[in-house]
Amino acid sequence: MTTVDITISIAKDGFFCASCQDCPALFGGGDTPDSAIEELKETLRLVKEDGKETAMLYPDWLDDEYTFQVHWDVETMLRYYSGIITPTALGKLSGIHPKQLWSYMHGRSKPRKAQVDKIENAVHQLGQQLLSISF
């Protein structure tokens, strides 16, 4: 089974895009990340239906079984989850100043690799803690 890397990004108007990293011309859009992924799946279905002979773009993996590995850019993740994970809360978890996180969320600046790693680790740690909760 082939793993296809896709990236979720957000436009200034709040519209989400899911695009294949190895073939960015194959994408889907929607009001949510899930709807963008579903539209990408539909795009891939249509490309496969057209076939290699007539499709302008036809990645080799389309003929095999494939699964998506979803990647988010920091701005998109912060904006999408802003009602759940605030810059203040994420700042406490990651050690990054909330004003800096706000700048990342609003596209004012791009985080360095070390900052991206801190954010990713903090979100993963929060996820693990939430998974361990029972009532």
Tokens of 57: 């773009």
Residue 119 sits in which domain range?
A: 74-131
CATH assignment at residue 124: 1.10.260
Give me the number of domains the chain comprises.
2
Q: What is the pLDDT of residues 85-116, one digit of tens each?
A: 999 999 999 999 999 999 999 999 999 999 99
Same-domain status, 81 and 40: no
Mean pLDDT along residues 11-28: 91
Same-domain status, 57 and 85: no
User: Where residue 33 falls among pLDDT bands split at 50, 70, 90?
Assistant: very high
> pTM, whole model, 2 decimals?
0.83
Given a contact cutoff of 8 angstroms between Cβ atoms, the answer to whether 22 and 59 are in contact is: yes
The last residue of a domain, from among 72, 103, 119: 72
Tokens of 98: 């909330």
User: Where residue 37 falls among pLDDT bands split at 50, 70, 90?
Assistant: very high
**Secondary structure element (H or E) that encloses residue 68, with its range:** strand 66-72
Same-domain status, 64 and 81: no
Q: What local confidence, expressed as pLDDT, does residue 89 receive?
A: 96
Q: What local confidence, expressed as pLDDT, does residue 133 receive?
A: 97
Distances in Å between the Cα of 45 and the Cα atoms of 55, 63, 95, 135 are 11, 11, 43, 42
Among 10-19, 56-65, 70-79, 81-90, which stretch is predicted with the lowest mean pLDDT? 56-65
Choose between 131 and 63: higher pLDDT: 131
Alpha-carbon gap, residue 41 to 30, rounded angstroms: 12
The last residue of a domain, from among 31, 52, 72: 72
CATH assignment at residue 65: 3.30.2390.10
Closest CA to 18 of 100, 81, 93, 76: 76
